[in-house]
Amino acid sequence: MPQQSPKPQPRKPQPKPNRQKPTSSKPQPAPTSPIKLQPQQSLKASAYTELTADLQICRLINGMWQVSGSHGTIMPQRAIAAMYKYHQAGFNCWDLADHYGPAEDFIGAFRRKLKADRLDDGPHASKAFTKWVPKPGGGNISSITVTEKIQLALRRMGQAQLDLLHFHWWDYEDKRYLDALKHLTDLQAAGKIRHLGLTNFDTEHLQIVLDAGIPIVTNQIQFSLLDQRPLVSMSELCQQHDIKLLAYGTICGSFISSDFLGKPDLSRFQLNTASLRKYKNIIEAWGGWALFQELLSTLKTIADKHSVSISNVASRYVLEQPAVAGVIIGARLGVSEHIRDNARIFDFELDAVDREMIYAICDRSNDLFKYLGDCGSEYRG
Ligand SMILES: NC(=O)c1ccc[n+]([C@@H]2O[C@H](COP(=O)([O-])OP(=O)(O)OC[C@H]3O[C@@H](n4cnc5c(N)ncnc54)[C@H](OP(=O)(O)O)[C@@H]3O)[C@@H](O)[C@H]2O)c1
């Protein structure tokens, strides 16, 4: 995950996201029977969807930026034991990156253990989506270096093929991102990569990639109650091309939870994870702490009505948006854990009254699209 954080922006008038009918009432493609790896541990069928015809995922993906070191100390053995727990609860998909510290190695160790215990077969087998994030400046983008990069990920993750690789690029002026993607499609043809996705690409450049004939299945972007920029144009393009959005930042590093309801504003220096520090900037750009507290109060009312948590409501809101296949929620493996609470995301749907209450707050916030630009612009320029 790129580390550069968006800058706070002054308050301005409200965004006009292209709100469409929520997708929650539509059946998800081909749900399977509930997963039962152990008695009493299961997620509903609606927790799963087909990202592609040959890749079924849990719609809540476990995010591994949180093991990178900037979110507290992670003990490898405890982390891998925790991964096992997530998998047994039905959360069988992992999001990681080449630069998330030991994340790719953890996947390798974890999958070896699953395999030994015969828990990695069938539609609910584990899935691991890594990223290739070239350094700013791009570096050497030759067929050889790209191949080496992918071979390294395969070795670390102990796999013959990557399930899905997300590709990030820092500078659109440097058109070599198309060369890099071309090399990746060659590796896909050679069987090293099953599917290709992008991360933090905006609508214009996703279109350019599609026009170049690159077969993209996902774009991983920030999408939350605070950041609804994907609704402006990204989700429409994705729907046209059957590209799925995987959303991060959905609970803003835990800001959108009861932990911060009624709490005073904190400075970035008082926040103990890189994730919280990142989303503190988003809260400031969106409208500030007082408006954010109003949002949390409203979410609490909705959460109580459905007997779920504030975080559940925030995740559910994003899951019900057009083109969204999944939300990625970070897990500080072996440090903290929200398995039981997050399982409830699949127990309810938001109704029209809930959405109106949410819009009433969000309509008073700033226009992040105008301030930051389209998806991923905060990482560029
Ligand atoms: N492509 C990119 O550029 C990019 C950028 C950012 C993130 N990501 C991906 O998205 C993942 C998520 O990262 P994020 O930074 O956006 O964080 P996030 O998912 O918004 O927040 C993660 C934190 O939320 C808390 N949490 C989780 N479930 C909760 C619940 N039910 N109730 C209350 N708190 C809960 C936990 O905090 P505690 O541990 O303190 O309990 C957890 O560490 C990353 O790991 C990464 O895979 C990708």
Kindly state if the Cβ of 249 falls inside 6 Å of ligand 1.
yes
pTM, two decimal places: 0.92
Percentages of the chain per state (helix, strand, coil), in multiples of 5 = 40, 15, 45
- Determine the average pLDDT of the residues in 237-260: 98
Going by C-alpha positions, the residue among 117, 118, 58, 111 that lies closest to residue 89 is 58
Task: Output phi, psi for 131, to 5 deg.
Answer: -125, 155
pLDDT of residue 119: 84
pLDDT of residue 20: 59
CB atoms within 10 A of CB 118: 7
pLDDT score of 242 more than 80: yes
Q: Rounded mean pLDDT of the chain?
A: 91
- Determine the average pLDDT of the residues in 287-316: 98
Residues sharing a CB contact under 8 Å with residue 82, sequence separation 6 or more, in sequence order: 331, 333, 334, 337
Exposed / middle / buried, residue 15 (Cβ in 10 Å: 0-12, 13-18, 19+): buried
* Rounded Cα–Cα distance for residues 12 and 371 (Å): 9
pLDDT: which is higher, 120 or 187? 187
pLDDT of residue 2: 52
* Rounded Cα–Cα distance for residues 256 and 341 (Å): 14
| Nearest Cα residue to atom 34 of ligand 1 | 254
pLDDT of residue 16: 52
pLDDT > 90: percent of the chain: 85
Q: How remote is the CA of residue 260 from the centroid of ligand 1, in Å?
A: 15
pLDDT of residue 36: 45
Q: How remote is the CA of residue 189 from the centroid of ligand 1, in Å?
A: 33
Kindly state if the Cβ of 223 falls inside 6 Å of ligand 1.
no
Kindly state if the Cβ of 136 falls inside 6 Å of ligand 1.
no
The full set of domains in the chain, from first to last, is 45-379 (3.20.20.100)
| Nearest Cα residue to atom 17 of ligand 1 | 253
Question: Which residue type does 336 have?
Answer: S
Among 62, 64, 248, residue to substitute to test ligand 1 (most atoms within 8 Å of Cβ): 248
125-178 pLDDT, tens digit each = 999 999 999 999 989 999 999 999 999 999 999 999 999 999 999 999 999 999
Q: How remote is the CA of residue 327 from the centroid of ligand 1, in Å?
A: 10
Lookup: tokens for 239 = 């729907």
Q: At what angle do helices 310-319 and 352-362 cross, to 10 degrees?
A: 100
Q: DSSP alpha helices (H): ranges in 124-241?
A: 143-157, 176-189, 203-211, 234-241
Q: How remote is the CA of residue 342 from the centroid of ligand 1, in Å?
A: 12
Kindly state if the Cβ of 198 falls inside 6 Å of ligand 1.
no
Question: Which residue type does 355 have?
Answer: R
